[in-house]
Structure 1
Amino acid sequence: MKNRLKYLFTLLGITTYLLTSCNTSTQEDVPNQLTSQEKEDGWQLLFDGTSLEGWHLYNRGEVPSAWTVQNGELYCQPIFDTTAHGDLVSDQAFKNYELAFEWKISEGGNSGVFINVLEREDIPTTWSSGPEYQLLDKAHPDYEMSPAKRPGTLFNFYPPLNPVEPKPAGEWNQSRIKQVDGKVEFYLNGVLTAQEDFNSDHWKESVASSGFKTFPEFGKHIEGHIALQDWSKGISFRNLKIKTL
């Protein structure tokens, strides 16, 4: 009898442990949810995993578009049809923050995340004002031909500060953007890839000698919307979250 009771208590203990572990793992691992610690630290979700709430098409508002939610992913369809295409823009503008997100891209894909975007009718595109955190598949020809266009770079300005390998097409990469009073840092899969001060003479000179010099508002602001780039090939995002600094 004692042995049987001991066996039952042991079995009960194992079952309780497994259930607790399973529930904890589920809470921590489900995409597009904040952990208790993240909530305590001030993080907020920018994508709820089920809708486009908080986002709209640049200069067009909340209209049906190629941006959809599929399996908990914010996905831009690559097929050009009657569906409206364009960059997706956050409803809110941000200044000092840390932005974290995951992305996966199709083979040969090319996309990006823009920061400090101004949304005005006289500014035709997001990239006319907002510098870009580049997203690129390694199979894209720009990867070898243009180091300043590799993933994690400040698009078309500087090559990565430190070497880092993106995940293969179809696998999730982790990215982070930090901005404080115009000083920005880009990270890809935990590695620092770009650094710049948008108030500095160095940045102003870099813009003046770049192809963006023809856009009067480009790179001149340290506050604005966040935008996700539409592209002709599929791109997905998840775990988009932000913390005000």
Structure 2
Amino acid sequence: MRLTAIICTMALVAAVFSATAHAGNDNVPPKGFKALFNGKDLAGWKGLVKNPKERAKMSPRELATAQKAADENMRQHWSVDDGVLIFDGNNKGGPLCTDKDYGDFEMLVDWKIKEKGDSGIYLRGSPQVQIWDIKLFDTGSGGLYNNKKNPSKPLKTADNPIGEWNTFKIKMVGDKVTVHLNDELVVDNVTLENFWERDKPIYPTGQIELQNHGNTLYFKNVYIREIPRK
């Protein structure tokens, strides 16, 4: 009995220490990862221009013009406060997109929503690893919501209460995605389908997007580790 109590106490102390250490090192990437968000401003991010299929049809001049307008819109609705990326909840604001494309990678990101929150992480410009208020949708976050042929729902509900921070660990290799939410496995090596062109596999590279549906959103500790292809 005493041994069990000691073990439980040690686990609790370790958990508290870990949480405290993490809180004191926001936006500082762990070994092997790079920070996509510097904790200070929107450097490295851009606004959304349409979708991968439509962007591919645009001329360089058309894309540059559209990107300038998207960036201006992005800066009106996304901001940084005390080391946190914040979306203001305005329906006219679009997703926040990395200014670089990625192929295979492992990604870490902390997120927080309010009641009725609805968001997601687009991988290679394609929807999505789902984020939402489980009270509205009766299933947890982390699933590949837009899948039709392959599993779309998470294996379990692992969301923290509304208003508390959550952590995704997302791994994408080829067309396969694995997601851990708050250290719980919720998606296990599932194919992410091409939402924009259903008859084609997922694009080999693309931007990462923080999506919104007109709800106030919070993100921090956004890290990535690129995985070399064999």
TM-score by length of 2: 0.71
Query: Which residue is 1:216 aligned to?
Result: 197
Match in the other structure for 2:160: 167
Task: Give per-residue Cα distances to partners, 1:136-156, cap 9 Å, x unaligned.
Answer: 11232xx22xx4xx3100014
* 1:120 corresponding residue in structure 2: none
List runs of 5+ in structure 1 lacking aligned partners: 1-24, 118-129
- Inter-CA distance 94–87: structure 2 relative to 1 (3 Å threshold): same
Superposed structure 1 runs of 4+ greater than 4 Å apart:
25-28
Q: Out of 111, 118, 141, which is 1:110 matched to?
A: 118
Question: Number of aligned pairs?
Answer: 183
Query: In structure 1, what is the equivalent of residue 47 of structure 2?
Result: 57
For the residues of structure 2 that align with 1:134 and 1:161, how far apart are their CA atoms? Answer: 9
Tell me which residue corresponds to 2:35.
Answer: 45
Distance 1:43 1:163, change over 3 A: same
Q: How big is each residue's C-alpha offset from its partner over 1:93-126, in whole Å with a ceiling of 9 and x where there is no partner? A: 1111100000000111111010111xxxxxxxxx
2-structure distance, mates of 1:49, 1:184: 27
Letter of the aligned partner of 2:162 in structure 1? A
Tell me the equivalent position of 2:27.
32
Identity %: 27
Work out which of the two has the higher radius of gyration on C-alpha atoms and give 1 or 2: 1
**1:132 maps to what in 2?**
128
Question: Conserved in 2, the CA contact under 8 Å of 1:104 and 1:237?
Answer: yes
2:97 maps to what in 1? 89
Q: Displacement, 1:231? A: 2.2
Distance, in Å, in 2 between the alignment partners of 1:187 and 1:29 is 22
> Any gaps of 5 or more consecutive residues in structure 2?
1-19, 50-66
**Equivalent-residue separation in structure 2 for 1:219 and 1:132 (angstroms):** 15
Q: 1:243 aligns with which of 211, 225, 228?
A: 225
